[in-house]
């Protein structure tokens, strides 16, 4: 399935120090470097852009046109909704469905209360990066809780093999948040699943077994799939609330947007637009700094969406963002490594994991392109060591990403081998493109309909009394909050600016003559490989209960541009 290239026998060696275009742009890089400075105080320890947005980083007219179109569609839908002005709980679940008047209803509306949908969202939902295999169940549950599960299932479960857990105790214990009419709460549950070799086709299915509501609860902390259906629905909703906060603050905001911002800043400081790596990375950083600037003024600002909608007050939510950054590193969170560290790589044990399986195809395509592209420019070890700007870029990132005590967040102090650089660049491109696409564009399907993934709990439940239908509705977002969740989830996933592997004219203008032809050849081969990946994903989707489209290359932008 891989398109192989054969061009290296006719290459002319490319030496940065003698390239006239590169030399001509050295002065320009010196002039613009001061515009790319690190702000180490605003959201410490996350390095962010300091000062005004540099020239050339602003949104294009075309981009703003797409934003305007998205806002117009949202406005048309909002005008058609008979929105209740009250902050009181909605009367019934249908009221949440009524938010979709012009915009298309997500498919999850018809299945979200089922165990199969709940489990599938761990594998192909908005946040498919939490589930991990269980080596020792006692790491998550007390012996009495394990016995309770065994008794509930009448000894029909094997709790020693092929178990998986979604553990949200990584979320810190935070003070409850507030909204206009009361308080909000963030549960920290642990959800236990098993893989059963039964169900759809011959693949089996992931099945939820039990949920530990919150490690802080002292009474009735465990609910199993055999308990009362409303109690079980409540427990699953606790998981969904935790998952939505984990998603927005950790998987999405921190571990795509904010972890990539330092790389864009360092690129502006040290890699000219005609530097081979600078030219490539600029395609994958397009509009990212502009988007971050907007986010600081809106999304993460006081009284912004994170402050008003998520479970904790703004300082608590931002602490979660910072903690996620502290525990991230480029190498450990590189796609194959992250999958392996969660024990999710074994396809024999877990045959169905669309995020893993489709992600592997896209990762391999990017890795091959990056290998061919960088091999074109760096043909000897000396070409790496003598590229002063590349080494300065590396050193700066290692330094800035070490300020919180970490060892460069996976960035070495210098680049010694081509293989090392290939892994770094592949991880950057994958994070900016496919990884962000996976966690961003699923927001419409899974988060606009608030009962599926509420951003907060609006009713405190100690876990001891029986849970009524009335209490469940009080638990969900009231009308105003649900409408705001609908709007932000739609806007954050409303359009894609470009497409992975399709680069604009400025990229090709960085190269002349024979080199330009070689670059065109490489990019065309990359696009063809991505087309093959797309065809394979479409074939797989025909055999899936729920199609997974978020890693189809045609639906992956190059950059974190929304």
- Tokens standing for 80? 């058609």
Q: Report pLDDT for 219.
A: 63
Phi and psi angles of residue 528, each rounded to the nearest 5 degrees, phi first: -65, -40
| 165 bridge partner residues | 132, 192
104's CB contacts (< 8 A; 6+ apart) are none
Confidence of residue 16 (pLDDT cuts 50, 70, 90): low
List C-alpha distances in Å: 365 to 275, 352, 464, 541, 553. 23, 21, 52, 19, 10
Phi-psi region of 213 (alpha: psi -120 to 50; beta: other; left: phi over 0): alpha
**Per-residue pLDDT for 201 more than 70?**
no
202 C-beta neighbours (distance < 10 Å), count: 8
Helix (H) or strand (E) holding 50: strand 46-50
Show the domains of the chain with their CATH numbers: 8-30+77-90+114-127+243-555 (1.20.245.10)
Distance of CA 303 to the CA centre of its chain: 24
Across 266-364, the runs of DSSP E, i.e. the strands, are none
Kindly tell me the sign of the dihedral angle through the C-alpha atoms of 530, 532, 536, 542: positive
pLDDT, tens only, 77-97: 999 998 665 656 788 899 999
Prior bond to 523 cis, omega within 30? Answer: no
310 C-beta neighbours (distance < 10 Å), count: 23
**Per-residue pLDDT for 292 more than 50?**
yes
pLDDT, tens only, 502-538: 999 999 999 999 999 999 999 999 999 999 999 999 9
Task: For residues 554 and 19, give the distance between their C-alpha atoms in angstroms, rounded to a whole number.
Answer: 35
| 327 bridge partner residues | none
Closest listed residue to residue 225, CA positions, set 242, 206, 244 = 206
**Per-residue pLDDT for 105 more than 80?**
yes
In this structure, are residues 370 and 425 in contact, taking their beta carbons and an 8 Å threshold? yes
Task: For residues 499 and 515, give the distance between their C-alpha atoms in angstroms, rounded to a whole number.
Answer: 23
List C-alpha distances in Å: 272 to 54, 95, 278, 333, 479. 14, 54, 6, 27, 50
Q: Report pLDDT for 157.
A: 77
370's CB contacts (< 8 A; 6+ apart) are 422, 425, 426, 429
SS3 37: strand
Q: Report pLDDT for 18.
A: 59
Q: Which residue has the higher pLDDT, 18 or 343?
A: 343
Q: Could you say which DSSP state residue 17 is in? A: G
End-to-end CA distance of the chain: 31
- Tokens standing for 434? 């496919």
Across 411-525, the runs of DSSP E, i.e. the strands, are none
213's CB contacts (< 8 A; 6+ apart) are 187, 189, 220, 221, 222, 223, 235, 238, 463
* Of 218-232, 327-341, 349-363, the least confident: 218-232
**Per-residue pLDDT for 212 more than 80?**
yes
Task: For residues 556 and 533, give the distance between their C-alpha atoms in angstroms, rounded to a whole number.
Answer: 12
In this structure, are residues 340 and 384 in contact, taking their beta carbons and an 8 Å threshold? no
Confidence of residue 461 (pLDDT cuts 50, 70, 90): low
- CA torsion 236-239-240-246 (nearest 10°) is -170
Phi and psi angles of residue 410, each rounded to the nearest 5 degrees, phi first: 90, -5
Closest listed residue to residue 523, CA positions, set 535, 538, 505 = 505
pLDDT > 70: percent of the chain: 90
Helix (H) or strand (E) holding 288: helix 288-297
């Amino acid at each position: 399935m891989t398109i192989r290239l054969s061009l290296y026998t006719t290459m002319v060696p490319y030496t940065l120090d003698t390239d006239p275009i590169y030399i001509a742009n050295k002065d320009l890089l010196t002039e613009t470097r001061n515009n790319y400075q690190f702000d180490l105080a605003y959201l410490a320890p996350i390095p962010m852009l300091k000062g005004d947005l540099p020239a050339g980083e602003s949104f294009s007219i075309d981009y703003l046109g797409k934003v305007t179109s998205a806002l117009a569609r949202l406005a048309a839908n909002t005008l058609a909704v008979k929105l209740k002005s009250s902050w009181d709980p909605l009367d019934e679940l249908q009221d949440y469905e009524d938010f979709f008047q012009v915009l298309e209803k997500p498919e999850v509306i018809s299945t979200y209360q089922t165990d199969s949908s709940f489990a599938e969202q761990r594998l192909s939902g908005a946040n498919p990066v939490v589930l991990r295999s269980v080596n020792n169940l006692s790491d998550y549950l007390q012996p009495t809780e394990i016995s309770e599960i065994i008794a509930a299932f009448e000894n029909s479960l094997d709790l020693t093999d092929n178990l998986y857990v979604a553990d949200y105790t990584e979320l810190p214990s935070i003070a409850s948040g507030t909204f206009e009419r009361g308080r909000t709460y963030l549960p920290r549950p642990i959800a236990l699943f098993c893989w059963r070799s039964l169900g759809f086709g011959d693949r089996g299915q992931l099945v939820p077994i039990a949920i530990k509501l919150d490690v802080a609860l002292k009474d009735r902390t465990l609910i199993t799939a055999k308990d009362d259906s409303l109690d079980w629905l409540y427990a699953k909703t606790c998981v969904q609330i935790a998952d939505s906060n984990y998603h927005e603050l950790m998987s999405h905001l921190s571990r795509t947007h904010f972890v990539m911002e330092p790389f864009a800043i360092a690129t502006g400081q040290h890699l000219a637009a005609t530097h081979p790596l600078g030219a490539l990375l600029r395609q994958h950083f397009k509009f990212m700094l502009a988007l971050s600037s907007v986010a600081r003024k809106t999304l993460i600002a006081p009284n912004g969406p994170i402050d008003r909608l998520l479970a904790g007050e703004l300082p608590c939510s931002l602490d979660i963002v910072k903690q996620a950054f502290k525990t991230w590193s480029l190498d450990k969170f590189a796609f194959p490594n992250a999958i392996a560290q969660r024990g999710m790589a074994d396809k024999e044990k877990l045959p169905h994991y669309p995020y893993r399986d489709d992600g592997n195809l896209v990762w391999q395509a990017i890795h091959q392109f990056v290998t061919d592209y960088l091999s074109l420019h760096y043909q000897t070890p000396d070409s790496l060591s003598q590229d002063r700007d590349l080494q300065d870029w590396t050193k700066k990132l290692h330094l800035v990403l070490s300020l919180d005590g970490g060892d460069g967040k996976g960035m070495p102090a210098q680049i010694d081998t081509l293989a090392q650089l290939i892994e770094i660049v592949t991880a950057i491109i994958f994070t900016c493109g496919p990884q962000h696409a996976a966690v961003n564009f699923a927001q419409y399907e899974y988060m606009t309909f608030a009962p599926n993934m509420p951003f907060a709990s609006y009713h405190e439940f100690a876990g001891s009394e029986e849970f009524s239908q009335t209490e469940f509705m009080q638990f969900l977002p009231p009308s105003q909050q649900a409408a705001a969740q609908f709007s932000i989830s739609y806007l954050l996933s409303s359009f894609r600016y470009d497409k992975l592997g399709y680069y604009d004219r400025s990229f090709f203008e960085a190269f002349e003559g024979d080199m330009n032809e070689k670059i065109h050849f490489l990019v065309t081969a990359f696009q063809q490989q991505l087309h093959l990946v797309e065809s394979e994903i479409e074939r797989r989707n025909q055999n899936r209960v729920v199609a997974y489209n978020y890693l189809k290359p045609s639906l992956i932008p190059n950059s974190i541009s929304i």
